[in-house]
Amino acid sequence: MGGNEGSHISGRSNRAASRGGSVLATNHLVRLPAATPKFRGLWLYWEPMNKLDRTTETSAETKRIVLTGFMGSGKSTVGPLLAERLGWKFVDADDTIAAEAGCAIAEIFAREGEAAFRERERAAIVRLAAEESLVLALGGGAIETEATRSLLLRAPQTLLVHLEVELATTLARCRGTEHLRPILADQANLAVRYAKRLPLYRTAHISIAVDTLTPAQAVEAIVRAAGRPEH
């Protein structure tokens, strides 16, 4: 690991410890017992499996994994791979809402307003979060709704995972999609939105820095954090 990357991760690990709770750090992996609420908000950093002890606790307690994070964090890419790895079903909450409404998310916003959309979103997540063997990807703004956030943090056998990216990573990964995401063209407002949401994302049970991880590596990190045996 390069010096800059090492210091970057170390700083995040120290912040996690300062927020309270115990962490187990081994070979730059900061991890928590499977879905233990008192360890909420801890950081996890993954290195390739050949650099780590493959022995880890396994748990059947986690029945669903919910992915949250800013645009470009890879929720819709990592989610299906994670579901395949676990032998679970993958659902994108935005796709579900759009299918039920019979129109695109942008049209719901334009026609009904954000408050009405967030209520649709909350209701859909309540239903979906009752399913088992599920990987659920949330829309980037779902975390702003306190009722949604509280549900996912307190729901039994649910692991809320924050895929964290820096704003520069969002801009790099989403370049060329400005026609689909107009906010990308307004970097000042984008930065405000990112700053507003970041502390809310970090209330998740775990946060994983994924800027430099491949989708497969992100899946490995989540599986290890969840304490899930391989399917």
Res 161: pLDDT: 97
Residues 6+ positions from 3 with CB-CB distance below 8 Å? none
Dump pLDDT digits (tens) for 130-158. Answer: 999 999 999 999 999 999 999 999 999 99
Q: Which one is predicted more confidently, 226 or 82?
A: 82
- Number of Cβ atoms within 10 Å of the Cβ of 200: 17
Q: Specify if 28 maps to a domain.
A: yes
How far is it, in rounded angstroms, from Cα 195 to Cα 118? Answer: 20
Q: Six-digit token pair at 17?
A: 């410890």
Spatial CB neighbours of 16, under 8 Å, sequence gap ≥ 6: 23, 30, 41, 42, 43
Q: Decide if 38 is inside a domain.
A: yes
> Does residue 126 lie within any of the structural domains?
yes
Expressed as residue numbers, the domain containing 84 is 3-226
Whether residue 231 lies inside any domain: the answer is: no
Digit-coded pLDDT (tens) for 94-127: 999 999 999 999 899 889 999 999 999 999 999 9
Domain tally for the chain? 1
Whether residue 129 is contained in a domain is answered as yes
Predicted model pTM:
0.75
Residue 227, pLDDT score: 79
75 within domain boundaries: yes
Among the listed residues 141, 38, 22, the one whose alpha carbon sits nearest the alpha carbon of residue 30: 22
CATH code of the domain covering residue 104: 3.40.50.300
